[in-house]
Amino acid sequence: MYKSDSIEPTAFARIVQRIDPTYKLRRAWELTGGVSAQVTALEVERDDGDMHKLIVRQHGAVDLAHNPHIAADEYNLLRQLHARGLPAPMAYDYDESGAILPSPYVVIAFIEGATDFTPANPTAYIEQLAAQLATLHRLDLATLDVAFLPDQAARYAARSMEQPTVIDETLHEARIRAALRASLPLPQHNKSVLLHGDYWPGNILWKDSQLVGIIDWEDAAKGDPLADVANARFELLWALGMDAMHAFTEHYRSLNPIDFSLLPYWDLYAAVRPISKITEWAANADAERQMRERHQWFTARAFAQLSG
């Protein structure tokens, strides 16, 4: 039985038929939790009774404004990553024409797993997170067809030059932004790598305490591996605390001994992005207070390292 409140069943049935004429759509349901795309799960059945699940990702207006070909780019990137054995979902199809759905979409495999913010074994959890990121960063860019990906240095410069109308001085936002602007152009001491762009626990899927999937690659880029490391450090601090952040950093460093001298700048870059969203993202007042306290600690530590 088909279930959906938003799109005609024939649209998803056509998507399924494009992938494999032997597929029949049995069910579709919207997945919640994403903010950058509308995500729909499909359950399909082959003539022989074999059942599969697929994901249809319709990219949002913000991502499309930055990159009108984001569906094609995500499809091409995921195909390459999956072929190299990374736990990225296989991509099956994409369409930018608007003939089936009103916005561009990409169809990917459904990975049986779930996010985990309370791991039973934090040490194993952190080590797997660091190991998978190190594996991603060790891919040779010369062997990948990723000319379509943006340059992370350009993103760093653009964010550093932002001048928001509202500044949160409780988080020393003006000081952070001034430091980022003063760092331009930020040198790069490491070889450019493939970056996930938003590597954090919310984009990692687990099953039986094993990392089985890395999802949401729409922010992928090329650039300094410290960009991904800093973002993961900051998000782990928020999710699991200081010890988890330090353990992740050290385990990554042991697997991929890159130059960490400019990490404080990338830490500030990671910290400035969510400042205006903290109240929106926090589950309650206590969670917001903790997020703000950890944010202040994180940026104070980065400034101390810069001045030391």
106-161, pLDDT tens digit by residue? 999 999 999 999 999 999 999 999 999 999 999 999 999 999 999 999 999 999 99
Tell me the pLDDT tens digit for each residue of 70-113: 999 999 999 999 999 999 999 999 999 999 999 999 999 999 99
Has residue 253 been placed in a domain? yes
Task: Tell whether 1 is covered by a domain.
Answer: no
CB–CB of 94/189 below 8 Å? no
Specify whether 97 is located in the same domain as 246.
no
The count of structural domains within the chain is 2
CA distance 83 to 87: 10
Q: What is the Cα–Cα distance from 91 to 83, expressed in whole angstroms?
A: 10
Q: Is the pLDDT reported for residue 261 higher than 70?
A: yes
Average pLDDT rounded to a whole number, residues 279-299: 96
65 has a pLDDT exceeding 90:
no
Domain span including residue 147: 122-307
Is residue 8 classed as helix, strand or coil in its secondary structure? coil
H/E run at residue 293: helix 285-307
**Residue 25: pLDDT band with limits 50, 70, 90:** very high
Q: Is 187 exposed, middle or buried (0-12, 13-18, 19+ CB in 10 A)?
A: exposed
**HEC profile for 269-290?**
HHHHCCHHHHHHHCCCHHHHHH
Average pLDDT of every residue of the chain: 94
Structure pTM? Answer: 0.93
Percentage of the chain beyond pLDDT 70 is: 96
Q: What's 286's domain CATH number?
A: 3.90.1200.10
Crossing angle of helices 285-307 and 173-182, rounded to 10°: 40
